[in-house]
Amino acid sequence: MDGDARISPYLSGNFAPLRSEDDFELKVTGQLPPDLRGALYRIGANPQFEPRDPNYHWFSGDGMVHGFYLDEGRASYRNRYVRTPKWELEHAAGRSLFGTFGNPMTTAPEALGKDGGVANTNIVFHAGKLMALEEGHMPFQMDPASLATLGYVEDYRGRVTAHPKIDPETGEMIWFAYGVGDMPFSRTLSYGVTDASCKVVRRDDFEAPFSAMVHDFLVTRNYVLFPILPLTMSLERAMSGRPPLAWEPEVGAYVGVMRRDADVSTIRWFNIDPCYVFHPMNAWEADGKLFADVFRYDVAPLFPRADGGAPGRAAANLFRWTFDLSGATDAIAEQQLDDLDGEFPRFDERHSGLSYRHGWFAGDSRNGSAVKFNTIAHVDLATGKRNEHRLGEGDLTSEPVFVPRTADSDEGDGWLTAVVWRAQDNHSELLVFNALDIAHGPIATAAVPRRVPFGFHGNWVGAG
């Protein structure tokens, strides 16, 4: 399958599916810090069978979790499929049954109306539960040690998107969902809160200006921000054979702002020139303003225009958005902070929703693809300086993930982890850096005896 690109470029090279589930002890080079104890979980799309849809999209493959377990200088690895109802149905049939994003035009008759969730986008740990998430279904719980599938977390009473935020001060998990309701591609969103004991204490619906793919959102100590940007969704387009999700800048671009303790009817809609953001870095509030650091595209990557044409080169850079809460203007001010193309921003999440200084991201120094990154970058937002580790020729990195040295260490004091693909040998390694000196290179690597396919997101869970 590695060399088969007949259907999609996301079925070849290191995007190609990995069908085996394995357990490995890893060879460590250098020295893993003995107090770096816990697990790095990563997740991505990994179709169990050859997709039936000629328009297969990377985002629609079955979820597979990859666990890197570190303990007193040793490292091991385990990967398992998320055995969703879709995975089980197709496994029993021995073939693919669902079209991309559940498109009824390309779904087998026996799968129409069935649960097509893939649980492939993010894997988070909250209140003792390890949960695989995607755009359109409830969280799917996994056993942290064995990666065995435990099933949907039913308390959420409906879909939850892949990017909840955990409040470091309250322990709450704040989340949202889009396309909510019985009608596919609706413009209804939900806003929800799960308390520190994993009890859902709020779920409220509201209407967005239009139906859009809302991959991520932003949360501060007192506010929540919902970006409604012109990557639109349309059932009418899908049923006519045109793209169900498409870049449509003429509809405008908005960000809804609401106090976390207010009713959804109070949302204030700010506006901005058409752009797209898959992932923000962080947001905070000060002096009557909100600030949000985001990776901003001029056009949405990975999706066509509404007529099927390509929207143009898509690359993201780090920008700061400023919202004036005084009521003087609904326009969002923009400032570019860094000029390296990049994606998958992370930071010290003990500062989630609060003022912060340090950020990390996967960068691309080649002016190339929106989803292939050859650089791991750190940016000091107080000085504006960037330092980076550039990989060898052909090598590519996943999203970097920060791990604090201790629960109360200074911001940025800790390690940065990243899973990289070594192109020449077609295998993957876990790299560990001193987080504030990544230009020095990794202090340790743990080699996997095969490749780990490119995925989406990951998170660290400390031991105990």
Average pLDDT over residues 367-390: 91
Please tell me the least confidently modeled range out of 53-62, 126-135, 348-357, 388-397: 53-62
- The answer, yes or no, to whether residue 2 has pLDDT greater than 80, is no
Average pLDDT over residues 414-432: 98
Pairing outcome for strands 276-286 and 268-271: unpaired
Average pLDDT over residues 34-60: 93
Average pLDDT over residues 227-240: 91
Q: Give the torsion through C-alpha atoms of 259, 263, 268, 274, to 10 deg.
A: 90
Pairing outcome for strands 188-194 and 200-207: antiparallel
Which of 173, 207, 171 shows the shortest CA–CA distance to 189? 207
Find how far residue 414's CA is from the centre of its chain: 22
Distance CA 182, CA 175 (A): 20
How does residue 368 score in pLDDT terms, banded at 50, 70 and 90? low
Question: Counting Cβ atoms within 10 Å, is residue 209 exposed (0-12), middle (13-18) or buried (19+)?
Answer: middle
- The answer, yes or no, to whether residue 395 has pLDDT greater than 70, is yes
CB 299 within 8 A of CB 314: yes
State the DSSP H helix or E strand holding residue 87, giving kind and residue range, or none if neither.
helix 85-93
- The answer, yes or no, to whether residue 367 has pLDDT greater than 80, is no
Which of 422, 363, 365, 425 shows the shortest CA–CA distance to 392? 422
- The answer, yes or no, to whether residue 231 has pLDDT greater than 70, is yes
Average pLDDT over residues 322-337: 96
How does residue 247 score in pLDDT terms, banded at 50, 70 and 90? very high
Structure tokens at 309: 């044409």
Average pLDDT over residues 76-83: 98
Helices (H) and strands (E) in the chain, counts: 2, 33
- The answer, yes or no, to whether residue 64 has pLDDT greater than 90, is yes
- The pLDDT value recorded for residue 7 is 57
Please tell me the least confidently modeled range out of 167-171, 312-316, 410-414, 437-441: 312-316
Pairing outcome for strands 74-81 and 27-30: unpaired
CB 177 within 8 A of CB 192: yes
Task: Using a pLDDT cut of 90, give the percent of the chain over it.
Answer: 85
CB 64 within 8 A of CB 77: no
- The pLDDT value recorded for residue 130 is 98
251-301 residue pLDDT tens:
999 999 999 999 999 999 999 999 999 999 999 999 999 999 999 999 998
Average pLDDT, the chain: 94
Distance CA 164, CA 195 (A): 12
- The answer, yes or no, to whether residue 3 has pLDDT greater than 90, is no
- The pLDDT value recorded for residue 176 is 97
